[in-house]
Amino acid sequence: MKVVDRAGMKGAQKFYLIAVAQGLLVTLGHAVKNLLNPARMPVVFYPEQKKALPPATRGRHRLMKRENGSPRCTACMLCATACPAECIHIQAGESPDPEIEKFPERFEIDMLRCVFCGYCVEACPLDAIRMDIPDVTIADYTRDSLVYNKQFLMSHDNRDIVADYNPPRPVIWTHGPHARP
Amino acid sequence: MDDQIFTLINITVMTIVMWIMPLQFVPVMIWLERKGSAIIQDRIGPNRAEILGFRLFGMIHNISDVIKLLNKENITPSSANRFFFVLAPFWSMTVSLLPLLIIPLAAPIELAGHAIRFQAVNFNVGVLYIFSITSMGVFAVILAGWASNNKFSLMGGIRSSAQMISYELSMGLAIVSLLMVYQNAQVGALIMAQGGLLTFFGHQIPLPNWGVFLQPVAFLLFLAASFAETNRNPFDLAEGESELVAGYHVEYSSVKFALFFVAEYSNMVVASFVIATLFFGGYQVPYFSTEVLSSHPSEVLAAVCVLGFIKCVLLGYFIGLKARQQATVFKKGVEKWEPYIFSAIFYGLAAAAIAGLVYAFTGSFAPWFGPVLTVLLQMGCLLAKVLFFCWLFVWVRWTLPRFRYDQLMKLGWKMLLPLGLLNLLATGAWLLIQK
């Protein structure tokens, strides 16, 4: 085994005990300071206290709406094509608005497959899909409940997200852990 | 009662007590490890497991650990050597429970015409008994590593056994120089000898006659070697997880893993007891011999009360600080009030200590009170020393990085072993000059 002799280790430094004692004093200092002043520890009691996520967080998806409440999405399939995880499923239909050709009859995002890359947002020419809902604790007991449908994706506000925005949760989360839609 | 029957009962009780002692220390050690590492790393540490809302500052986690380990599937790999695979954890556990039988908890006392001793067995070769037992611990490691039929376990076992055998040499040399100074291998006599003051060419120095002051080099050697013997950081190469997954117990699960886990911690407790006994005077209270203590019950009670008062006030204060922090998070319920309750209990104990202080100077004492109080004080003193070394094990683990294997062997064979031999030579020369 070839051993590299590091430069700068000579004399008293090679005698481990001095460095060991110095290191022990550093850790003891932390321990004593934390005992005397628990508030100095940079921690939060997680489920009770939550740090506000920054407004630029890439979180859950939402579908943006036009002024009349219909989806901005025209079912052009660019997001579904860009998606590397193939988690976006769109079924196009003829739009009731004569100015617009298509609209999504079904728009489903499989959160179990989503890798949060944000390519769908980049791909969208109409700014119809955004990933700015500040919620990263996505978990549930059933697979079906983690496939978000068009109704839920459109239930969010159309405004810009601010730091203390309290996003709507899917109904399945609000009605007990095993409740299904 | 017949004297022999009394002695038999005495020995039986002490054997059971000293056998269970390391097991009682293990949950404390695990809690100390978790909480100690947390406060060293600016974290809160475990505080989530609860019974009826009581969290006991993370101690409930030990119970959930046990439930988890007992509920796991007890796997024996199909290609393992079944007999040795099962034998290894039991061997490890047995070896780690035996050495404490030789350690006295307090000086022997005379009570109601009976001699009571607080030591299970008292061989003339006591110190050698400790090392003969602990050196057998290496079999458990190598058996587990080999019988698992797994390359990682085998490498971990080989590494670990090489390390333990290498460091046993320096450990032995440290002990030899200590025994040369005290001229005795009986543990009881060794502790008796550490009771007085240090003598330096006929002059008394105001330091206790402890092994650490007589043999500082031997103490350092012994400390380093006992870290290596118990497979603790910075010498925990047996479980270098970056290269060996988990070392010799990769294939173990459930109860068998729990046995290894408990054995590791009780080894640490045993090492702490041995260091405290050989180098820090065992149960001896510094500057006060057993005779002085047992003949001054009121002063001793006053001292115990003052120490207890300081301890309870400090604990109550620290828990009070914790309570204030916790109250900012938990607005109601047991979670909010639990630390306040414990803080109040400790302040109450401090008040009781003041009451005891008053009684110490006004009350009168039965003749049995002095010796019994002495025994309690000496047990407390030994346990305080042991707890300090338990904390040292934890403290060092969360401070130092792990040695590389060649560094470990270099330290063991090229530094500690020559140092031990030189120390032996110097001790011999010293004893010759002093004569």
Q: pLDDT (tens digit, 9 = 90+) per residue, B123-148?
A: 888 888 888 888 888 898 889 889 98
CA-nearest residue to A35 within chain B is B318
DSSP secondary structure letter of residue A108: E
Chain B environment of A35 (Cβ under 8 Å): 39, 318, 321
Domain count for chain B, please give it: 1
What token pair was written down for B34? 């978790």
CB contact under 8 A, A28 and B398: no
Cα separation of the two ends of chain B = 48
Q: Alpha-carbon distance B167 to B229, whole Å?
A: 7
pLDDT at A162: 62
Nearest Cα residue to B311 out of B387, B389, B375, B207: B387
Nearest CB to B42; choose among A3, A17, A34: A34
pLDDT at A178: 46
What token pair was written down for B22? 């390391």
CB contact under 8 A, B43 and A48: no
Q: Alpha-carbon distance B94 to B103, whole Å?
A: 17
CB contact under 8 A, B41 and A1: no
| Chain A contacts in chain B segment 300-359 (CB below 8 A) | 318, 321-322, 325, 329-330
Which parts of chain B sit beneath pLDDT 70?
1, 238, 240-242
CB contact under 8 A, A24 and B322: no
Share in percent of chain A as helix, strand, coil (round to 5) = 25, 15, 55
Chain B environment of A37 (Cβ under 8 Å): 321
CB contact under 8 A, A31 and B40: yes
pLDDT at A179: 47
Phi, psi values for residue B282, rounded to 5°: 55, -125
User: A-B interface: how many C-beta pairs under 8 angstroms?
Assistant: 53
Q: Nearest CA to CA, how far is B39 from chain A (Å)?
A: 5
Chain B environment of A14 (Cβ under 8 Å): none
Give the DSSP H or E segment for B28.
Answer: helix B3-40
Measured N-to-C along each axis, helices B60-71 and B3-40 cross at an angle, to the nearest 10 degrees, of 100
For an interface test with A, give the residue of B33, B39, B41 to mutate (most A CBs within 10 A). Answer: B39
CB contact under 8 A, A42 and B220: no
CA-nearest residue to B410 within chain A is A3
Q: Given the structure tokens 């839609």, which residue do they identify?
A: A181
Q: Alpha-carbon distance B189 to B126, whole Å?
A: 10
pLDDT at B111: 79
- Chain A interface residues facing chain B, Cβ-Cβ under 8 Å? 1, 3, 16-17, 20, 23-24, 26-28, 30-31, 34-43, 45, 48-49
Q: Alpha-carbon distance B279 to B284, whole Å?
A: 11
B220 in contact with chain A, both atoms CB, cutoff 8 A: yes
CA-nearest residue to A16 within chain B is B411
Chain A environment of B406 (Cβ under 8 Å): 1, 3
What count of other Cβ atoms lies within 10 Å of the Cβ of residue B153? Answer: 27
| B207: in domain | yes
Q: Which domain holds residue B210?
A: 3-284+366-434
CB contact under 8 A, B44 and A43: yes
Nearest CB to A35; choose among B41, B318, B329: B318
Chain B environment of A20 (Cβ under 8 Å): 396, 399-400
pLDDT at A171: 56
CB contact under 8 A, B42 and A43: yes
CB contact under 8 A, A28 and B395: yes
Measured between alpha carbons, how far is residue B285 from residues B138, B194, B270, B383 in Å?
A: 34, 10, 20, 11
CB contact under 8 A, A24 and B36: no
CB contact under 8 A, B39 and A49: no
What does pLDDT average to in each consecutive run of 10 residues of chain A (181 residues)?
Answer: 69 76 92 87 81 79 89 92 93 89 91 92 91 81 85 82 64 49 39
Per DSSP, chain A holds a count of helices (H) and strands (E) of 5, 5
pLDDT at B190: 87
Looking at B194-296, list the stretches that DSSP marks H as alpha helix, in order from N- to C-terminal side. Answer: 211-214, 216-229, 241-244, 254-279, 290-295
What token pair was written down for B288? 């006060």
| B355: in domain | no
Looking at chain A, list the stretches that DSSP marks H as alpha helix, in order from N- to C-terminal side. Answer: 16-36, 78-82, 119-123, 150-153, 171-174
What token pair was written down for B61? 């986690």
SS3 B96: helix
B414 in contact with chain A, both atoms CB, cutoff 8 A: no
| B348: in domain | no
Letter for the amino acid at B307?
L
CB contact under 8 A, B39 and A30: yes
pLDDT at A133: 82
CATH of A60-174, one of 3.30.70.3270, 3.30.300.20, 2.60.40.10, 3.40.50.2000: 3.30.70.3270
Q: Tell me the CB-side half-sphere exposure of residue A3, using CA atoms within 13 A.
A: 6
CA-nearest residue to B46 within chain A is A45
